Each structure stands twice: as structure tokens, then as C-alpha cells.
Structure 1
Amino acid sequence: MRLFYVANIRIPTEKAHGVAIVKACESFARAGVETTLVAPRRRTPFEKDVFETYSVEPVFIVRFLPVIDLIRERAGRFVFALEAFTFHLSAYAYFFFKGRDALVYTREPGLIALSRLGFHVALECHLIPKRRAAFFRRARRARRIIVISGALRKAFVEAGFDPEKILVAPSGVDLSTFDIIVSKEDARTKVDLPQRARIATYTGNFTTMGEDKGISDIIRALPEVPDVVFVAAGGSDKDRTRYEEEARTSGVSDRVILRGHAAQETLALYQKAADVLLMPFPDLPHYRHHMSPVKMFEYMAAKRPIIASDLPTIREVLDETNAIIVPPGDPGALAAAIMKTIADPAGAQELARQAYEKAAGYTWQKRTERILEHIT
């Protein structure tokens, strides 16, 4: 079987979707599928190639297609539209000369029309665009649909799609990267963190599409947990500047450590260095309905207690048996939850153990096996 994973993203990228896409390609290839990742040739600050950046074996092929890439940090809609348009042109030209026995697996609704050329197309959907009617018309031409949350599946079913056509496949984790044997003390030494502090940690991008991912609530909670140091790793320079200012305003800058983007192996060390891991997402439509955070599964593999927001997308995986669930947007409740992990370390560790056991069912390889069973 031949499979082309088509993604209109800058790759390598510091964003979590880059990890998800590369791990999917690796898993497809390891399942015996001849896999090619097709992406636009865009400028990237990464010096290493895809395989080195994500620490994966070169078991799949990467093909970069020409595009007009004028995208910068403050690019407008026209610039993004131009890049997308030229990528779609390049993709259609590329596939015009490919054998129709291949499967096209994509996150791009605009490429579903490759089915008109005779390809079987599977769509992986992470959100419903504002132009819902047009999107659903396109999606009906997909052979199979993969979504990352139950809420997304419900949206398709309510739009008249056959439920059997839709698979819910949340994000995953590479246990070889995040289920590592290292003591808390050694991990702190490796990432230069204080040995004797109680550390609450967040890893990954600090914002999504400009929206806060809960770091503001963490900073606002810190005055109520005076013995805790907050560490966040994975932010852009712009986002770190933003939250450094918030920490100064809240009078807790001496207990806030903000670090930049890091490799997966380094993020695993930050998690192992923590006493508790945080993901207090705000109650916004994207987080409530359209996410399956990669960090959630990484946290589960880290064997550290997790504090997470009470949102439907979170409850599809975590509940009170394996995490401390708090109301979103409530710094007081977040502070109380952090204090609970300090007051009852044995209880907190039992939650971490339960989450770790569940993580084994959410590896990238198992996710891919479920997808292959669905699309073939």
C-alpha cells in the first residue's frame, strides 16, 4: 500500500502538529505502508532536517513542493492565501502523474477534490471552519474521516455523515521519548532547575493562534502557592516576553522560569523534573471542542500528577481517577489543586500511576493501527 500524507505546514516546525504529522508518517511506515510526506518548501529556522529534528528514523520519504512563501510573523491573510493557493496548485500537479492506487491522507479540505482524479482520500479533521456548509460539501467526497475529538465526530454526524465513516483518534505519545528512566534530581540538573524547589511545570507552545493556553491563570495562581516555582518550556520569544510582563505585574517574577522551544527529548526532562504538570486550558471553543493536546499524553507518560481543566476534550481521556480536574479560568481552584498535590503526595502519585497506565493505549503506533484499519 502507498500512502501520501499531504500537509500544508512549515516543516520542521516548533508547533505540536509537526510532531503529530511526523510521528504519524513514521508509524504508517513501520506498519508496512510505503509512506511519503508531501509539504510546501518554506523557510524554516531549523538547521536540521525532518528526521534529525524529530529524532525519527528515515523510514518514509519527504517531498517538498514549490510555493510562493512570503509568510512572516505578521503576515496578512493575502500572504497566507497565496501560499495555500500555490501549494494546492503544486499538489495537484504532483499527483496528476501519480498512480491512482495510492491513498491520499490529508488535513487539507482543498485537496479532497483529488478524489475526482481517481484517488482515495482520507481527511483528518482538527476543526470545523467558519464556512461549515462549504466544508461539509467538500468533506463528503472523502472516503474516510478521522477526527481528534468526540465533539468533532458529533458535528459530522449532525451534518448527515454516516457515523461508520468517522473515526475518533486522539493524539498520541512516543513512550520511548517520554517514558524515560531518570530521577527528578538528575532531570533538574540536566535542564538547570533548582533542586530543592517545588516545581509546577507546563511544556509546549504558550499560545495557540494567539490565544492563551492557561499560563495567565497559572501566573495569577502563584501568589496563593508561595513555595512553588512555575516552569514553562516551549515558548516563542514573543510569548515569553508577554508572560514575563504578566509575572512582574503579579509580583511573582522571581518564581517564574520561562524557557524557549526545545526538542522532544528535552521537554521530557522538564516533565521528569516537575512535581506536578499543568494544562489549565481556558474555556474557549477551540479548547472545548477542537483539540487533543499532545502534551496531555506526554504528561501521562511522565509519571507525574496532572492538573487539567474541566473541558469535554480533556474528559475524553482524563477524569478524577487519573488527574486533578479544575474549573477553567479559576486561578484559585488551580492554586488549591497545586496545594493538594503538596499536602497529599501519595494520592497525587496514585493519580500519576493511573494516568501512566492509560498512556500505553495512546501511542502513535496504536493510533496509526486504528486509522489503517479504518481507511483500508
Structure 2
Amino acid sequence: MMDKFETTLLYLSNERFPANLACTIQQIRMCEAFGRLGVAVQLVHPAYFDVPSYTEQEIRQFYGVEPLFSIKRLFSLLSLSKPLVDGRKRLKLPFIGGLSFLLSSYLFALRILRKCSASHQIIVYSRNVNGAYAFLQLVKWWFRHKKVKIIFEVHALEQQTPRSAFKRLLRDSDGLVVISKALFQALIERFPVNPQKILIAHDGVSARAFAFSELTKKDARDRLRLSSAPTVIYTGQLLPGKGAQLFVQASKLTAPQVQFILVGGHGQYLQRLREMIKKEKLTNILLPGFVPPADVPLYLAAADVLVLPPTADHEISQYTSPLKLFEYMASCRPIVAGDLPVLSEILQDHHNALFFQNGNANDLAQKIALLLADEPLSHRLASQAFQDVRDFTWESRAEKIYSFIQSIDQPLEVL
């Protein structure tokens, strides 16, 4: 891999692949986008013994991406530390799981750093504290003469790792990437981080998703075997803070002929929602469950209205950059979104979306009804969102981040 390219980018992850999680979609898409820049990209992630060992081809097919990067799986016992793949909790042994992967990360980093020539540039791009920390320590101890830049992408203020390691990465990484202005502000207020080494890069959408905007609602519904009724759709996870229950509540307050479809979720969260729908005797809501990421744009094309209802009572909603937001915008369908400050970094009320009062199911139902009744308004908002999202593709995000990395002339001194 390192013999054919001047630069190698190692994307370090802590996740199972494939998986029905937005974080894995984001990481896979970024690996593909970095690969388009002409660098050797390798996704490095831990092995989990509670899931099968999929081939690289199977993983790429699951996400619908091109073979522009390789995938490396490292030994770990993280299955003892994290919830099972279906979301069920189990007896956790975080020390054993975390330590095993930290050791594997050190061995992998040592092998890479010893092998690369002094002229070869290595970019360690990580959302994984263990992996980035291993590279950071080895560069400090033995490999200062190598051309290594360590970039840490931050999505939250808390990590499921020792706080000291997280703080060390914030301080000593060559650069930090954050997913929202809100997270940038919170980060520099809580930690002694140099703002000049932080890049704000919101998430994005695959350029291929734009093609689905040309698909008519009828064609999309026919392919999905959906009725011709007015259709309101939510896609994504059902975790606390995502607003799935609010979406269900709004379905009760809307005309019964309106069809609500909640796409995504699995395990206990999906089961709880099904029980809620059964208890409320709701007949106008469908739960197809998880669908492969490559199929999500088809559901978006079938919608009359798309809903983004994250609630403000979870930290994730304060700093988020939801993938579904950009997918919604690229579908050229009108969006109703909760009026969270972080969403206002991308959306503007009555400009490219309608905002509803956060957590208010009645207001959400009213805004849905307004868009269903006012076709000119729906068309204007959808068209504007479609234009605005062209600046937020994975490809443009990768170019922005890569330019930021290359602008770091000398790695920051590790103290």
C-alpha cells in the first residue's frame, strides 16, 4: 500500500463493520471520499466476535461504496466491553476489552511506523481514542523523524475511554476536526485547546444521492410497494434523543389518511416503538425497520414531507451534525425540523425548512399539515435545501479536511 502512494491515510475506527449505525456510514463514506483524492486509504477497526467476519467486498456492497480504500481488522476483545450488536446490554468488562484493543493498536502502529520510509507521509485520522493515542505515544518515543500527522475527529465532549487519554489527544494531536460550530465553542470553553488547530467540518451526503431527487414520488412508492397516500417519513436510529417517539405522537395528531413511515432502528428500540404503536392502536404508521444505507434515498424520494425531530434533552442533540439532514436536503423534499440551535447552522426557518417547537408534537403535526396543504411552499423550501446542500458532499468535506491537514507544515511538538 505504501509503495504506490506518496501519502497513506489510516482511518482508525472503533466500530463493527458493517453495521446499521450512522457513525459507520459516515466513516465509510469519508474513506471513499479520501480515496478519491489519490491517497492510499485504509480503514482500521477492531474485530468483534459477536458478528461474522465479512469480506471487504461485502462491507462495501452493504454501504454502496466504490473500492477506493482497503480495510484492516485488528484483534480485540471489545465484544466484552460494548453492548451486543442488537443493542442488548450484557456484563461489561471494559478494562479487558479496551486494553486488548489498545495493545493491538500499539502493535499495528509500531509495524506501520517501522515500515514507512522517512519521505513517506502518514496521516493518522481517527475517531478512535485508543488507536490515535497509540500512534501519538510511539511518535513521541521513537519516531519523531517520521512524517506523521495525527488528526482526531471529535463528535462529543465525553468519550468511553479514560478522560486523561482524551484530553491528551485534544492537546497533542496535530489537528482536530469537529462536526459543528456548537461543538467547537463547547470544546474550547471546556478544554485548554488551541482554536487555531481546530477545523469545523459538518457532515455531508454522497453525491450519488442527488440522482434520486429526479425520481418521482409515484415511481419510488411503486418500487417500495407503498400506497399513494400523503407520506411523511423519518429515517435513522431510534435511540434516545433522536425524536422517534415524537414522530409517532405526531402521527396521532394528523389526519388519518396521512401515512407515516419510520425507516430504521433495530433490537430493543424498534420493539419498544412497535409496542407503543400497538398500545395506541395506530394504523397510519409503518415500521419497515433497518434498510441498507444504499436503499435509504429511495424512501426519501417517496416522501411528501421529511421529519428531523431530535430532542434537546440529550447531549448528542446539542452538537450533532445529522447525516439524515443532508440526505433529506439532497432528496429535494420539504423538511420539518426541531428548532435546535445546532440545526440552525445549516437550516433556516422558512428558507430551506420549517421549524417546529422542539419537543412539541402538536406543533410538529401542524407544520406537517401546512406543508401537505401548501404545495408552492413545499416546493420552494425543498428546492432551496437542494441548492444549499451541494456545498456539503462527502467529497467536498474530504477536500476541506485534506487541505487543512496539508496546511499543517510541521507536526505540533508533543509535550
**TM-score exceeds 0.5:** yes
Counterpart in the other structure of 1:334: 364
1:161 is paired with a residue whose SS is coil
> Does the 8 A contact of 1:232 with 1:259 survive in 2?
yes
Given that residues 8 and 84 in structure 1 are in contact (C-alpha distance below 8 angstroms), is that contact kept between their aligned partners in structure 2?
no
Using the TM superposition, give the Cα deviation of residue 223 of structure 1 relative to its aligned residue in structure 2, in angstroms. 2.7
Cα distance in 1, alignment partners of residues 329 and 276 from structure 2: 29
* Structure 2 counterpart of 1:37: 43
Give the SS at the match of 2:234. strand
1:288 touches 1:312 (CA, 8 Å); kept in 2?
no
Q: Distance in 2 between matches of 1:4 and 1:144?
A: 15
Conserved? CA contact 1:9–1:40, under 8 Å? yes
Letter in 2 for 1:350: R
- 1:182: which partner in 2? 215
- Please give the per-residue CA displacement for 1:142-176, whole angstroms capped at 9, x wherever unaligned: 00000011121112322332221101111110131
Asked if 2 retains the 8 angstrom alpha-carbon contact of 1:112 and 1:139, the reply is no
State the AA in 2 paired with 1:335.
Answer: A
Letter paired with 1:107? R
State which drifts further: 52-61 or 176-185: 176-185
CA contact (8 A) 1:234 1:262 kept: yes
1:367 aligned residue: 397
Partner secondary structure for residue 78 of structure 1: coil
CA 1:322–1:139 in structure 2 vs 1: closer, same or farther (change >3 Å)? same
Alignment counterpart, residue 289 of structure 1, candidates 318, 326, 332: 318
Q: How many residues align?
A: 371
Moved more, 327-336 or 242-251: 242-251
Counterparts of 2:314 and 2:293 in 1: how far apart (Å)?
Answer: 28
Q: Is the 8 A contact 2:235 2:264 kept in 1?
A: yes
Distance 1:176 1:308, change over 3 A: same
Equivalent residue letter for 1:115: L
Amino acid across the alignment from 1:142: S
Q: Which amino acid aligns with 1:15?
A: L
Distance 1:286 1:153 in 2: 14
Change (3 A) 1:157 1:240: closer
Query: Residues of 2 paired with 1:80 and 1:177: CA distance?
Result: 38
Compute the displacement of 1:275 (Å): 0.5
The equivalent position to 2:110 in structure 1, one of 96, 99, 120, is 96
Query: For residues 286-365 of structure 1, what are the structure 2 equivalents within 5 Å?
Result: 286-320=315-349, 321-365=351-395
Q: Give 1:51 shift.
A: 1.3
Query: How far 1:133 sits from its partner (Å)?
Result: 6.7
Contact 2:170–2:193 (CA under 8 A) maintained in structure 1? no
The residue that corresponds to 1:216 in the other structure is 245
Gaps of 5+ in 2: 1-6, 140-147, 407-415
Indicate whether 1:59 and 2:65 are aligned. Answer: no
Q: Report the Cα offset of residue 134 of structure 1.
A: 6.0
Matched, 1:117 2:138: yes
* Counterpart-to-counterpart distance in 1, 2:25 and 2:391: 18
Matched, 1:108 2:128: yes
CA shift for structure 1 position 32:
1.1
**For structure 1, which segment, 264-273 or 315-324, has the greater mean C-alpha deviation from structure 2 after superposition?**
264-273
Q: Which residue of 1 aligns with 2:234?
A: 202
Q: CA deviation at 1:206?
A: 1.8
8 A contact 1:307–1:323 mirrored in 2:
yes
Residue pair 2:220, 2:301 contacting (<8 A) in 1 also: yes
- Which of 22, 26, 34 aligns to 1:20? It is 26
1:184, 1:273 within 8 Å by CA — same for their partners in 2?
A: yes
Deviations 1:341-373 (A, max 9, x none): 022111111000000001110000000111011
Distance in 2 (CA, whole Å) between partners of 1:95 and 1:51 is: 25
Cα distance in structure 2, aligned partners of 1:58 and 1:165: 31
Letter in structure 1 aligned against 2:58? D
Deviating more after overlay: 110-119 vs 363-372:
110-119
Describe the SS at the equivalent of 2:41: strand
2:273 to 243, 251, 254: 243
Q: Residue 141 of structure 1 aligns with which residue?
A: 172
1:178 and 1:265 in contact (8 A); partners too: no
Q: Which moved more, 1:130-139 or 1:98-107?
A: 130-139
- Quick check: 1:305–1:349 contact (8 Å CA) kept in 2? yes
Q: Which amino acid aligns with 1:263?
A: P
> AA paired with 2:136?
S
Highest Rg: 1 or 2? 2
User: What is the percentage of aligned positions where both structures have the same residue?
Assistant: 32
Aligned to 1:152: 183
Is the contact between residue 307 and residue 326 of structure 1 (CA under 8 Å) also seen in structure 2?
A: yes
Aligned residue type for 1:106: S
Alpha-carbon RMSD across the aligned residues, in angstroms, is 2.0
Q: 5+ unaligned residues in a row in structure 1: which ranges?
A: none
| Superposition map of 1:250-261 within 5 A | 250-252=280-282, 254-261=283-290
For 1:117, the aligned partner's letter is: L
Q: Do residues 191 (structure 1) and 191 (structure 2) align?
A: no
Distance 2:132 2:40 in 1: 20
2:213 is aligned with 1:167: no
Please list the CA deviations of residues 11-34 of structure 1 after superposition, one character each: whole Å capped at 9, or x if unmatched.
111101111101111111110111
